[in-house]
Chains A and B, each alone.
Chain A
Amino acid sequence: MTSIGTGYDLSASTYSPDGRIFQVEYANKTVENSGTVIGLRVKDGIILAVEKLVHSKLLVPESNRRILTVDRHIGMATSGLLADGRHLANRARDEAYNYREMYRESPPLKEVVQRLGLYVQAYTLYSSVRPFGVSTIFGAVDKTGPALFIVEPSGISYGYHGAAIGKGRQIAKTELEKLKLAELSMREAVFEAARIIHLVHDDSKEKEFQLELSWIGEETKGLHLPVPKDLCEEADRKAREALETFE
């Protein structure tokens, strides 16, 4: 295991001799070991999809939502330590509210993501705190159109057409690159997202999972809402069929 820092990895305020901050890299490890989350930015909206690993059959299926709403038109999904994800969601809501109070208009996603990136980065500067163990996908439809970003534990954020984080991100990225995202409609994207999540889920390694989907755009009049149940079930069914014909 070459990533063992031997003494340079005990706090976020220490550089290693080759210029790395190991605590931030370990935080990324947390994300890499977690369930996959993907986002698609398409012609008329955004789709977010989560591979929700079910750790007990006693769990109530409709509760324990992984995709959270920030303001009316922004959705976010995290992969990694879920409690840290909720902390970031609360901060994002505060940032969105402050923007709204100051400028009396709906916050563009870029603004919220920049502020959140700064916040996450601040936790990588000191030994008295630890970095956030989550990567977050943000999606929104604002006055610039559909927008999709990832914020990583280091505080870096990039905009994407198709985004994937978590365990199955390599497979998911390959699949996303095959799609012509700018030409898909929201409905088509829902089916594609479901298919990709089913593809990345490794049945042999993990237990059951649930697919959670949400969308923002034309179909929802700009609000961030869960994908309606019937469409969800149809997407789930089609994805399973696609997998069978695949194999």
Chain B
Amino acid sequence: MYRNTYDSDNTVFSPQGRLHQVEYALEAVKQGSAAVGLRSKTHAILLALKRSTGELASYQQKMYRIDDHVGIAIAGLTSDARVLSNFMRQQAMSSRMVFNRPIPVNRLVSSIADKAQVNTQEYGRRPYGVGFLVIGQDKTGPHLYEFAPSGNSYEYYAMSIGARSQSAKTYLEKHFESFADCTLEDLIRHGLHALRESLQQDKELTINNTSIGIAGPASVHEKDVPAGGSFRILEGEPVEVFLKSMVPKETAEAQAAEAPAAEAPPDGAAPAQAGDQDVSMAE
């Protein structure tokens, strides 16, 4: 109701106790094209849909390598993403230099979450306009984290961010229990299916607009992957074989129609409710 008076400054609470500038920053993340992340017992992967401004232009880079064992996919303002990913690289390098160990992924994500929180509390600053999906391997296994400009970060089994990501999330929620024991190829296939859900009508995943990031041992289709399975980004030709492994949409829909829908999450589920303050600013 009174949103307009309370939403121009970073430092103003609304009477309902909400920070509207931060919620608007979360909208900026939703403007970016979709990115999906999922993990199994052995691997964590990212899949992203790349946009291009036109036929003559190249496609926007959606993934960044942070360290041998950590990679991210972004959704939102690319320039903010570069600044934060640079910070992450510094933190990762610092851990290797001072302690001779690869940085534990949860600590890396907490460091950017804390950095982003500062920007939500001071006048003259604006919240970062980008969200990340961070994957990595450390001593405790593969991990997937979501980072949001509100300064909140959570660990997930599978997650998607960006435009029309709710449809991808629906797919992930349906299937996530089977991810743990998937092979890398199956995991990528699930990820591509989820990513496909976020496409607009008449669009499809091609080798030009899809990128896949993998942290973990090599798949049967990859060559020259170092033994430890460091984070790598697959784009262009190498993606073809995985795209071919997808189940065509018509068959998939027929299968879904046969199986009783276990739950039908409402579209655009969970709009910002006052009761959700402590777990997320807004969906």
Q: Chain A residues near B150: list those with CB within 8 A.
A: 81, 83
Which residue of the partner chain B has the closest CB to A84?
Answer: B117
Contacting pair B15 A1 (CB below 8 A): yes
In the complex, B71 has a CB within 8 A of chain A: no
Contacting pair B17 A33 (CB below 8 A): yes
Contacting pair A28 B17 (CB below 8 A): yes
Question: Size band of the B side of the interface?
Answer: 35 or more
Assembly CA distance A22 to B17 (angstroms): 11
Distance between A132 CB and nearest chain B CB, rounded to angstroms: 8
A residues 117-170 touching B (CB-CB < 8 Å) = 123, 127-133, 166-167
Distance between A120 CB and nearest chain B CB, rounded to angstroms: 12
Q: Chain B residues near A128: list those with CB within 8 A.
A: 11, 122-124
Assembly CA distance A26 to B117 (angstroms): 19
Contacting pair A59 B154 (CB below 8 A): yes
Assembly CA distance A206 to B277 (angstroms): 12
A residues 75-101 touching B (CB-CB < 8 Å) = 79-84, 86-87, 90
In the complex, B276 has a CB within 8 A of chain A: yes
Contacting pair A130 B12 (CB below 8 A): yes
Contacting pair B15 A4 (CB below 8 A): yes
Given contacts A58-B157, A83-B152, contact A131 B13 (CB under 8 A): yes
Q: Chain B residues near A84: list those with CB within 8 A.
A: 117, 121, 151
Q: Which of A6-14, A186-194, A217-225, A239-247 contacts B (4 or more CB under 8 A)?
A: A6-14
Distance between A184 CB and nearest chain B CB, rounded to angstroms: 27
Q: Chain A residues near B106: list those with CB within 8 A.
A: 63
Distance between B12 CB and nearest chain A CB, rounded to angstroms: 6
Contacting pair B280 A130 (CB below 8 A): no
Distance between B134 CB and nearest chain A CB, rounded to angstroms: 13
Q: When the two chains form the complex, which single residue of B15, B16, B121, B281 contacts A123, counting CB atoms closer than 8 Å?
A: B121
Contacting pair B11 A55 (CB below 8 A): no
In the complex, A34 has a CB within 8 A of chain B: yes
Contacting pair A86 B113 (CB below 8 A): yes
In the complex, A205 has a CB within 8 A of chain B: yes
Question: Size band of the A side of the interface?
Answer: 35 or more
Q: Chain B residues near A58: list those with CB within 8 A.
A: 156-159, 169, 172-173, 176
Contacting pair B155 A30 (CB below 8 A): no
Given contacts A33-B274, A128-B123, A129-B121, contact A26 B17 (CB under 8 A): yes
Assembly CA distance A128 to B274 (angstroms): 25
Given contacts A11-B12, A58-B176, contact A83 B17 (CB under 8 A): no
Assembly CA distance A82 to B280 (angstroms): 8
B residues 1-54 touching A (CB-CB < 8 Å) = 2, 5-6, 9-19
Assembly CA distance A225 to B190 (angstroms): 38
B residues 104-146 touching A (CB-CB < 8 Å) = 106, 110, 113-114, 116-118, 120-124
Q: Chain B residues near A133: list those with CB within 8 A.
A: 13, 17, 19, 277
Which residue numbers of B lie inside 8 Å of A, CB to CB? 2, 5-6, 9-19, 106, 110, 113-114, 116-118, 120-124, 150-152, 154-159, 169, 172-173, 176, 270, 274-281, 283
Which residue numbers of A lie inside 8 Å of B, CB to CB? 1, 3-5, 9-12, 22-23, 26-35, 53-60, 63-64, 79-84, 86-87, 90, 123, 127-133, 166-167, 205-206
A-B contacts, 8 of them at CB < 8 A, read A5-B15, A10-B5, A27-B13, A29-B13, A83-B150, A87-B151, A128-B123, A129-B122
Of all A-B residue pairs in the complex, the 9 with the closest CB atoms, nearest first, are A83-B151, A29-B17, A34-B278, A30-B17, A26-B13, A63-B155, A83-B117, A130-B11, A128-B123
